[in-house]
Amino acid sequence: MSPLTTRAAQALARLRETRPWVHCLTNTVVQKFTADGLSALGAIPSMTDSPDEVAAFASRADALLVNLGTLDEGLRRVIAMAVDVASGQGKPIVLDPVFCDVSEVRLAFAKAIVGRRGIVLRANAAEIAAIGGTGDAPVIRTGAVDLVQAGGRRATIGNGHPWMAVVVGTGCLSGAVVAAFNAVEDDPLVAGIAGLATLGVAAEMAAIGCTGPGTFGVRLLDALHAVSPADIETRARIEDLS
Amino acid sequence: MSPLTTRAAQALARLRETRPWVHCLTNTVVQKFTADGLSALGAIPSMTDSPDEVAAFASRADALLVNLGTLDEGLRRVIAMAVDVASGQGKPIVLDPVFCDVSEVRLAFAKAIVGRRGIVLRANAAEIAAIGGTGDAPVIRTGAVDLVQAGGRRATIGNGHPWMAVVVGTGCLSGAVVAAFNAVEDDPLVAGIAGLATLGVAAEMAAIGCTGPGTFGVRLLDALHAVSPADIETRARIEDLS
Amino acid sequence: MSPLTTRAAQALARLRETRPWVHCLTNTVVQKFTADGLSALGAIPSMTDSPDEVAAFASRADALLVNLGTLDEGLRRVIAMAVDVASGQGKPIVLDPVFCDVSEVRLAFAKAIVGRRGIVLRANAAEIAAIGGTGDAPVIRTGAVDLVQAGGRRATIGNGHPWMAVVVGTGCLSGAVVAAFNAVEDDPLVAGIAGLATLGVAAEMAAIGCTGPGTFGVRLLDALHAVSPADIETRARIEDLS
């Protein structure tokens, strides 16, 4: 067992004890699924995107999720306010630039944010390629095998299930889960690994005896609640490439 | 069995027969769960928050739910329009001032509405304390034990399940359910008791053999559809404190 | 077996192979359920309603869904932009004028769109009556028995389950499913029949052994993933009235 696996399991135990508050600026499609996933895991979600309120919520939360899944002018302003507050306080901010390879508006916005203090980028290969340079920001590349890259180190996570790609919002949820782990773990390499391994192991548990993607999405919430540090130690497939 | 229990069971029977229409101005996170819960119970939900339409919907509905879960300037204007219409017609309006103890914008708005004709306040202890005086408005305080207070009378409801706190939106749903009961029951004490007992008994039914919060949230909808007046009479734990 | 049944089964096989992209401008209540339903079926959903992005998404998608379930001024402008793009490219556009019999704003807007090139109307009897003349647009009237009318031909589909009326969003989902079939089938009569038969047969499969509307909604997604062209051939109840 890799030492990273032990540290990921410890991070999950710590998350369950401390119950970090994650404020989520995410698209309306996945709000409930993201909030339910964080809550099942043991974190506390909040979701308001009102310009009158977002600074107060970002300031009190332990981590921020910024998901560009639907991005109009109002939301861009709100995200900028929240990032200013959280970045200024040195809090972790997970940026999920959904479809920035398709939308120029999202790409320009993602590029402007990615260099800010505290940012962790969570994206797929096409989105990362579109953004280009990510500077010193930790990068979490999700795909068939997930890759985490931070502070000159790299590791892969081989857990998960094909049904994750059929249920809308599991990618967005992974960003929220990683944000929760960054709130309880200072090393972004360990936080990224812990988040993806926890979600991936939960997905494997959820898929057992499953009859389709509807049931899978529901059981994934059950499994996020049930998955234990011991499950991470025995089931996580983490490889340290450093 | 308390006479209040019988009256709560009768209110459920009446709701199933008359199928009240509840217009919901609620946050985007819980819209589908709230609408599904009302529909499973036997009520008819509508959810539009367009300023061009809200007066027409509020005017035709039998009750109004106002949930402050995401509150920007546009939504404040829309809520004010809907409250004017429903209050003017003497219809019940359930106010759920989510997190008004955290957000000054929500607190000021909640205080301005709570005195209006027809308002029933549904909140937790911290939110009620933040609002302070509630005047003559019936108050429904949810928590480990729920308390309903109206017209100088008080009663507690001891039903429910801990998983309600893990599934995002059960608190918001309780406001919608209470609104539906106020549409078919003139006494707000009975309506509040009936709403909380119905949801709490359904939660206990849903939890049997459940494997986690995902499954629980789905089965709660099944149970809201299945729960009968006879279930209320045998399972509700209502105590009249008057 | 009607030749239309065989053609509907073939359309489902084609949808699974080609995975059409359906851009959905729909109300926030049903966004996740609609996207999950399309994804389970084998199509690719996108949902953004940002004015900066909608033209790019409508232009790249294979079909457009326009659902008037919540209609404010901003959304009307966004829909107009998307319809201009999709109609100009000759792509299919399914219009679902939810509650246009209740809201004058929606009715005026629906009337203005229904004559555009590429429009397929999906509505219930009251909504169709409110709109009045639908010109040459194919019409899909959902109800206890569904009716499809296109190019002077008519057919009915007798599949489905009463629990569809209890789960919020199945009507909206049917519009999205019909849009996906129109992207892979040039004859709107066949596309409409295939969409309604696929959803109706899936609903019958989902209802077997079901304990309530919550479970039914989840299993409907499982069934949309599992339903096969062979299931359509053996279970669809299609009657050609031409």
Distance in Å, alpha carbon of C153 to nearest chain B alpha carbon: 35
Pairs of residues, one from chain A and one from chain C, whose beta carbons lie less than 8 Å apart: 85
Q: Measured between CB atoms, which of A28, A72, A166 is closest to C225?
A: A166
* pTM score, whole prediction: 0.97
Please state, in angstroms and as integers, the Cα–Cα distance from residue A147 to each residue in A144, A150, B140, B148, C53, following that order.
Answer: 10, 10, 49, 53, 30
Tell how strand A238-240 and strand A153-157 pair up.
antiparallel
Q: Which residues of C touch B217 (CB under 8 A)?
A: 214
Assess whether pLDDT exceeds 90 at residue B134: no
Which residue type does C129 have?
Answer: A
Distance in Å, alpha carbon of B30 to nearest chain A alpha carbon: 6
Q: Which residues contact residue A194 at a Cβ distance below 8 angstroms, ignoring those fewer than 6 apart? A: A7, A8, A9, A11, A12, A181, A185, A232
Three-class DSSP category at C179: helix
Distance in Å, alpha carbon of B124 to nearest chain C alpha carbon: 25
pLDDT range class, residue A23, cuts 50, 70, 90: very high
* Overall number of domains in chain C: 1
- A89-140 pLDDT per residue, tens: 999 999 999 989 988 889 999 999 999 999 999 999 999 999 998 888 999 9
Three-class DSSP category at A141: strand
Q: Do B30 and A32 touch (CB under 8 A)?
A: yes
Residue C235 tokens read as 């279970």
- B171-218 pLDDT per residue, tens: 999 999 999 999 999 999 999 999 999 999 999 999 998 999 999 999
Q: Is A51 on the interface with B (CB under 8 A)?
A: yes
Three-class DSSP category at A163: helix
pLDDT range class, residue A1, cuts 50, 70, 90: low
pLDDT of residue C35: 98
Nearest to A125, CA basis, from A104, A150, A97, A106: A97
pLDDT range class, residue B69, cuts 50, 70, 90: confident
Q: At what angle do helices A188-207 and A213-226 cross, to 10 degrees?
A: 130
C138 and C148 in contact (C-beta within 8 Å)?
A: yes
Q: Which residues of C touch B60 (CB under 8 A)?
A: 102
Structure-token match 């310009």, residue found: A51
pLDDT above 90 covers what percent of chain B? 89
Q: Give the chain B residue nearest C28 (alpha carbons).
A: B28
pLDDT of residue C1: 64
Q: Measured between CB atoms, which of A39, A218, A219 is closest to B168?
A: A39
Q: Which residues 169-228 on chain C approach chain B with CB closer than 8 angstroms?
A: 169, 211-215, 217-218
Which residue type does B138 have?
Answer: P
pLDDT range class, residue A64, cuts 50, 70, 90: very high
Pairs of residues, one from chain B and one from chain C, whose beta carbons lie less than 8 Å apart: 84
Q: Could you report the predicted ipTM of this complex, rounded to two decimals? A: 0.95
Which CATH number belongs to the domain containing residue A143 in this structure?
3.40.1190.20
Ranges A131-135, B19-23, B96-100, C134-138, most confident:
B19-23
Average pLDDT over residues C156-167: 96
B164 DSSP 8-state letter? G
Sheet of B119-123, strand order: B44-46, B21-25, B63-67, B93-96, B119-123, B139-141, B146-150, B153-157, B238-240
Buried b (16+ CB within 10 A) or exposed e, A85-112: bbbeeebbbbbbbbbbbbbebbbebbbe
- CA C99, chain centre distance (Å): 16
pLDDT range class, residue C10, cuts 50, 70, 90: very high
- B220-235 pLDDT per residue, tens: 999 999 999 999 999 9
- B145-177 pLDDT per residue, tens: 999 999 999 999 999 999 999 999 999 999 999
Give the CA angle between residues A123, A125, A130 to the nearest 5°: 85
Assess whether pLDDT exceeds 90 at residue C72: no
Which residue type does C33 have?
Answer: F
B238: part of which helix (H) or strand (E)? strand B238-240
- C35-55 pLDDT per residue, tens: 999 999 999 999 999 998 899
A217 and A33 in contact (C-beta within 8 Å)?
A: yes
Three-class DSSP category at A116: coil
- Higher-pLDDT residue of B92 and A1 is B92
Assess whether pLDDT exceeds 90 at residue B144: no
Please state, in angstroms and as integers, the Cα–Cα distance from residue B162 to each residue in A120, A219, B197, B200, following that order.
Answer: 34, 18, 15, 10
pLDDT of residue B1: 63
pLDDT of residue A131: 95
Residue A48 tokens read as 């308001």
Distance in Å, alpha carbon of C98 to nearest chain A alpha carbon: 19
Q: Is C160 on the interface with B (CB under 8 A)?
A: no
A151 DSSP 8-state letter? T
pLDDT range class, residue B242, cuts 50, 70, 90: confident
Domain that holds residue C78: 3-240
